[in-house]
């Protein structure tokens, strides 16, 4: 990321009204050492992480907040002066998601930033720090979409997951095979440490049993990758949503899903096939008060405002009008005419009817939205969906049972529902031939009248 763009982005963040309330002062060591060390994802650490840190410092009353380049590329230090006159600094290193977990293990980081869920091997490796998959440790701070980008003049408008796997594995090497203008396909990819690469690898390549072609050009910098694709008429790459820049994103098809562009509404509900969650991982045994404060700030309305300002999708609940299409079941079409859909889907832990980490926090967000808009009493309809089953009646029943599970949680917030419906395996948003797709199809939508 260029220094000019970094300071410009920081300047915009500083204009936000972040000091809405006084926060309890946090301790500052007298030896001049950083009060917090954040390491991991480049997707988070390039802009969003420093912006959230600056927001936290502003909330704490710090003055003269500045971003200073670090010793290595993709590293920086955010500094300021506390009301007491003490200097305060926070270090951010953005070398890839896996480096954050490695730094937690060696004690070189207090908080890990990751653009993918923690792996089983990392959970086991860090077991001495506590359960990193626990609800307090694993914190979803934003939603992102991995955009597949092309040169603006490329005529291709949509690609399937299967086609992408063949392209990035080198099986398809000419644009003519995809219906485009003939010419060799040039591949651009994030580096091996990147959570963006891990996400793309899991959702596209590994899903088809393929590996990235050896001749793909690899990048640590998201911006550099995007800029090169925008200048290469034969180029194709994948990148986090805020880094599309001058390139053009294509619509993605997964199985029988409709083509979907990485729009804010489709990413917010995680329906977009290459949507992903961005995380902070806080060791549950940690007593690091600045790390805990940054996590709380990131989840707050002020923090989520910064998420949106940086081009990611905030978890703030909004009501969205949905246009009816002929592919929708008639009952669902009627719902689109009568109600608005909230920008959140409830999903479930793998192999379980238990709401996952994000869904538990989204329950609180939905209840707060309903209270604010006076919609607690018979205004909400829950709509459940599921993956395909051999018996359609069973699929319909299971989809309604998932909606009932969400209903039980909403009842705790004094929400009296209007209706609960199940649509079985209708309207899939992902292919059903792998666990990842089936989990995405097992979802519950919230509609408000």
Q: Which helix (H) or strand (E) holds 441?
A: helix 435-441
In sequence order, what are the beta bridge partners of 196?
none
Mean pLDDT calculated for residue range 107-132: 96
What is residue 260's predicted lDDT score, i.e. its pLDDT? Answer: 93
pLDDT above 90 for 163? yes
CA Rg value for the chain: 22
Q: Which of these, 432, 146, 168, lies nearest to 274 by C-alpha position?
A: 146
DSSP secondary structure code for residue 214 in this structure: T
Provide the whole-model pTM. 0.81
Collect all residues with Cβ–Cβ distance below 8 Å to 214 and sequence separation of at least 6: 170
Q: How far apart are CA 308 and CA 312, in angstroms?
A: 5
The phi, psi pair for 207, rounded to 5°, reads -60, -30
Q: How far apart are CA 83 and CA 382, in angstroms?
A: 48
The more confidently predicted of residues 352 and 333 is 333
Cα angle: 100, vertex 104, 109; to 5 degrees:
75
Secondary structure of residue 204 in the 3-state scheme: helix
What is residue 18's predicted lDDT score, i.e. its pLDDT? Answer: 39
Q: How far apart are CA 51 and CA 58, in angstroms?
A: 10
Where do runs of H (alpha helix) occur along 169-300?
195-200, 222-230, 264-268, 289-299
For the chain, domains (ranges, CATH) are: 3-137+282-309 (3.40.190.10), 145-267 (3.40.190.10), 317-448 (3.30.1330.60)
The more confidently predicted of residues 359 and 79 is 79
69 Cα distance to chain centroid:
26
Collect all residues with Cβ–Cβ distance below 8 Å to 360 and sequence separation of at least 6: 135
What is residue 121's predicted lDDT score, i.e. its pLDDT? Answer: 97
Q: Which of these, 429, 268, 254, lies nearest to 358 by C-alpha position?
A: 268
Q: Say if residues 302 and 327 touch (Cβ distance below 8 Å).
A: no
pLDDT above 50 for 22? no
Q: Say if residues 111 and 38 touch (Cβ distance below 8 Å).
A: yes
What residue has token string 């990235």? 212
Please write the tens of the pLDDT for every residue from 33-65. Answer: 999 999 999 989 989 999 999 999 999 999 999
- Residue 14, both tokens: 């500083």
Please write the tens of the pLDDT for every residue from 287-318. Answer: 999 999 999 999 999 999 999 999 899 999 99
- Quote the percentage of the chain above a pLDDT of 70: 92
What is residue 351's predicted lDDT score, i.e. its pLDDT? Answer: 56
Please write the tens of the pLDDT for every residue from 248-257. Answer: 999 999 988 8
Distances in Å between the Cα of 395 and the Cα atoms of 309, 390, 424 are 40, 8, 5
Please write the tens of the pLDDT for every residue from 398-439. Answer: 888 889 999 999 999 999 999 999 998 888 887 766 666 677
* Strand blocks (E) in 282-334: 319-320
Burial class (CB in 10 A: 0-12, 13-18, 19+), 351: exposed
Q: How far apart are CA 71 and CA 67, in angstroms?
A: 13
- Residue 23, both tokens: 């926060």
- Residue 45, both tokens: 């650490």
What is residue 349's predicted lDDT score, i.e. its pLDDT? Answer: 66
CA dihedral 30, 36, 37, 40 (to 10 degrees): -170
Mean pLDDT for all residues in the chain: 90
């Amino acid at each position: 990321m260029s220094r000019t763009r970094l300071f410009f982005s920081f300047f915009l963040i500083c204009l936000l009204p972040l000091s809405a309330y006084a926060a309890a002062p946090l301790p500052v060591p007298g030896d001049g050492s950083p009060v917090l060390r954040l390491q991991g994802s480049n997707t988070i650490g390039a802009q969003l992480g420093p912006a959230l840190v600056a927001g936290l410092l502003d909330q704490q009353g710090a003055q003269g907040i500045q971003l200073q380049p670090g010793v290595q590329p993709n590293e920086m230090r955010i500094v300021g002066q506390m009301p007491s006159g003490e200097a305060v600094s926070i270090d951010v290193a953005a070398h890839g998601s896996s480096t954050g977990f490695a730094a937690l293990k060696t004690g070189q980081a207090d908080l890990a930033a990751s653009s993918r869920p923690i792996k089983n091997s990392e959970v086991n490796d860090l077991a001495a720090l506590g359960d990193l998959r626990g609800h307090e440790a694993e914190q979803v701070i934003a939603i992102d979409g991995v955009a597949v980008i092309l040169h603006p003049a490329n005529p291709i408008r949509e690609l399937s997951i299967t086609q992408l796997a063949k392209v990035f594995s080198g099986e398809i090497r000419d644009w003519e095979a995809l219906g485009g203008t003939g010419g060799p396909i040039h591949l651009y990819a994030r580096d091996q440490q990147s959570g963006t690469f891990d996400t793309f690898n899991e959702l596209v390549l590994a899903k088809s049993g393929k590996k990235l072609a050896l001749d793909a050009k690899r990048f640590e910098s998201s911006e550099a990758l995007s800029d090169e694709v925008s200048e290469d008429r034969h180029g194709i790459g994948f990148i986090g949503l805020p880094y599309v820049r001058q390139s053009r994103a294509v619509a993605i098809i997964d199985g029988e899903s409709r083509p979907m562009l990485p729009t804010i509404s489709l990413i917010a509900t995680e329906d977009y096939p290459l949507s992903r969650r961005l995380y902070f991982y806080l060791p549950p045994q940690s007593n690091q008060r600045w790390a805990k404060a940054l996590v709380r700030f990131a989840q707050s309305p002020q923090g989520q405002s910064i998420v949106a300002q940086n081009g990611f999708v905030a978890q703030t609940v909004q009501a969205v009008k949905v246009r009816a299409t002929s592919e929708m079941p008639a009952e669902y079409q009627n719902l689109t005419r009568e109600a608005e859909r909230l920008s959140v889907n409830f999903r479930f832990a793998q192999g379980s009817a238990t709401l996952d980490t994000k869904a538990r926090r989204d329950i609180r967000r939905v209840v707060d939205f309903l209270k604010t808009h006076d919609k607690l009493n018979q205004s909400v309809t829950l709509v459940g969906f599921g993956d395909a089953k051999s018996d359609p009646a069973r699929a319909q029943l299971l989809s309604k049972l998932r909606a009932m599970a969400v209903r039980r949680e909403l009842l705790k917030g004094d929400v009296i529902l209007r209706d609960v419906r199940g649509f079985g395996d209708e309207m899939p948003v992902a292919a059903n031939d792998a666990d990842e797709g089936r989990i995405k199809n097992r979802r519950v939508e919230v509609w408000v009248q």
